[in-house]
Amino acid sequence: MSKQFTAAAIMLLVQDGKIALDKPVATYLDGTPDTWKEITCRRLLAHTSGFPREEIQAPPKTERADYTREEIWKAATALKLEYKPGDRHSYSNLGYNVLAMVVEKVSGRPLGEFLRARIFAPLGMKSTRINDFHDIIPNRACGYVWSLNGLHIADPPSPTLYFGAGALVSNVLDLAKWDSALYTDKLLNADSRKLLRAPNPLNNGRTVNYGLGWEIGSLRGHPRMSHDGLLAGTRTYIERFLQDQLTVIVLTNQSSLGDPEPLANGIAREYLPDITSYLSVDATGSNVDSVVGHGERISPDSLGKFAGRYEFANNNMLTVEVVKGRLHVHLPATESDEYDPTSANSFVCAEEATTLTFLTGPSGDVTGIELQDYNGKRKIPRIGPLPSTLTAAPDPNTVRTSDVLAALKAISIGGSAIKDAKGITPGVRADFANPELDLAGIQSIEYLAERDVSVRNLVRHEGKVTRVLYYRWKREKLTRFIQVYLTADGLVTDEDVLDS
């Protein structure tokens, strides 16, 4: 989020007549390489300069250590461009550090002093400044990260490494003052503010959905400008719905949390109810939130048929759920991602660059998903519904259920019990030699339903699955569900235990 302030500093100098956006950056900085001759301030601001993301890719010292401007400049000028300036859009922290150097050279002040004099002080932003690990800053939040061993204090890089790209500290009250000023001429005039949210051109005539320090687009037909921030220990997000005069700011001090954008969008929905319903979007867009205009609405009631469990890979289940009228998808032990529709049966998650197209059989039942991501397209079969949604039916084969329970008990114990067990495949006998702790203490199960999956080519522990049985397992105060996979001859070839 710091980049918007570096961009504003450049625009203030443009208004002062000291910078022209389309002049080469070499106009303002001495010693630029010949390869930079087509790099302008506008291209730096729009991330179309050709610069790599970072300028110090193999630091000779730790990131925690401070860097001088000279060290960063030397490393930056030694790097090769990744593409011809203007050919494409590629996010670059380096570009904003170079812009900060332009501000310092043209204004004759360090970036922090310029921002304080021209932006923070006039707006009364008393808690906003360039971060400095050597200073005592009242109320500065500590950043945290989460690992398998618990919560830890983060070890962020020195602010000197990202002085123009990610070095500011602030709070929501100060940022609210900044937001208010961007509706007026107090800092930036109307022409400058318009440029902040205008698409920027590429050499091929196309434009990118990035203005000057801001991502631009819309959410469900509501135009917005937004930006996120991420460093070790912190994740942030700001989104401004200009026509609605609504701004949402999310600041977190735990960088292992999920993307704060969905949280901001959820808050926005409290004030803009019409963005709650699904809207179709243009699947060719680089970002689904960048598509302006309303599309065909999809009723949340029609989403229930997609809910279920799908065989993702290597016995990992992809779970599809409907949560508050929206489609949520996740793998085991991962956070849920929200998917937006591009048609009646296709959904996209822009953050994960993944598209799901639900496949149906002759009867109209959902049989699987065609998944497209960075690795290409592939089909994954539907295993069945979410067990928690099933209503118990009469057990058509109580003897079979007794045999299944005996097999599950053996799987829970392992060792000699699994070796001597009946009703299991050789693959289960080999792969479940150790106790399956998820089934520890199982004594009884209640039949719910079953599904014929013989046409879906499922294989579990070398056994071809033809039928999936669903059972409820009540254990003390906890209700769990068990999916049991059977072969054509009725042998158990796998099981999955699910919480309600």
pLDDT of residue 383: 87
**Tokens, residue 131:** 């971060």
Tokens 């109320």 locate to: 139
Q: Count of H helices and E strands in the chain?
A: 12, 26
Residue 55 vs residues 27, 72, 269, 371: alpha-carbon distances, Å: 21, 7, 39, 36
Is 256 within 8 Å of 145 (Cβ atoms)?
A: yes
Q: Which residues contact 464 (CB under 8 A, 6 or more apart)?
A: 457, 458, 487, 488, 493
Distance between CA 338 and CA 327 in Å, rounded? 6
Q: DSSP secondary-structure letter at 371?
A: E
**Token match 């970072």: residue?**
54
Indicate the DSSP class of residue 89.
-
Structure confidence by residue, pLDDT tens digits, 323-335? 888 899 987 666 7
What angle in degrees, to the nearest 10, is found between the helix axes of 93-107 and 3-15? 40
This prediction has a pTM of 0.61
User: Which pLDDT does position 201 carry in this prediction?
Assistant: 93
d(CA 116, CA 174): 13
Among 343, 306, 355, which residue's Cα sits nearest to residue 326?
A: 306
Q: What is the average pLDDT score of the chain?
A: 88
User: What's the CA gap between 110 and 99, in Å, rounded?
Assistant: 12
Place of tokens 């901001």: 264
- Structure tokens of 491? 């042998």
Q: Would you state the pLDDT for residue 321? A: 92
Provide the token pair at 423.
Answer: 């009703």
Distance CA 33, CA 456 (A): 59
Specify the 3-state DSSP secondary structure of 367.
strand
Superfamily of domain 3-271: DD-peptidase/beta-lactamase superfamily (3.40.710.10)
Using alpha carbons, list the distances in angstroms from residue 28 to 74, 85, 190, 319: 17, 18, 25, 54
Please choose, from the candidates 390, 370, 389, the residue with its C-alpha nearest in 3D space to the C-alpha of residue 380.
Answer: 370
**C-alpha closest to that of 292 among 356, 218, 230, 226:** 218
d(CA 478, CA 92) in angstroms, rounded, equals: 49
- Phi, psi at residue 11, to the nearest 5°? -70, -30
pLDDT digits (tens, 9 = 90+) for 270-300: 898 777 543 333 333 333 333 323 334 577 7
Domain 297-384: give its CATH architecture.
Answer: Beta Barrel (2.40)
Element (H, E) at 406: helix 398-413
**For position 285, what pLDDT does the model report?**
31
Q: Which residues of the chain have pLDDT under 70?
A: 55-63, 148, 258, 276-297, 314-315, 332-334, 350-353, 374-375, 500
The pLDDT assigned to 288 comes to 32
Q: Looking up tokens 């296709």, which residue turns up?
A: 346
State the pLDDT at residue 282. 34
Output the DSSP codes for 94-118. HHHHHHHHHHHHHHSS-HHHHHIII
Q: What is the DSSP string of 220-280?
A: TTEEEEEEEEEETTEEEEEEEETTTTEEEEEEESBTTS--SHHHHHHHHHHH-GGGSSEE-
Is 107:180 a contact under the CB 8 Å cutoff? no
Cα separation of the two ends of the chain: 39
User: How many other β-carbons are positioned within 10 Å of the β-carbon of residue 34?
Assistant: 6
**How open is the CA angle 193-198-200, to the nearest 5 degrees?**
135
Are 22 and 40 in contact by the 8 Å Cβ rule? The answer is yes
What is the C-alpha separation between 26 and 38, in angstroms, rounded? 9
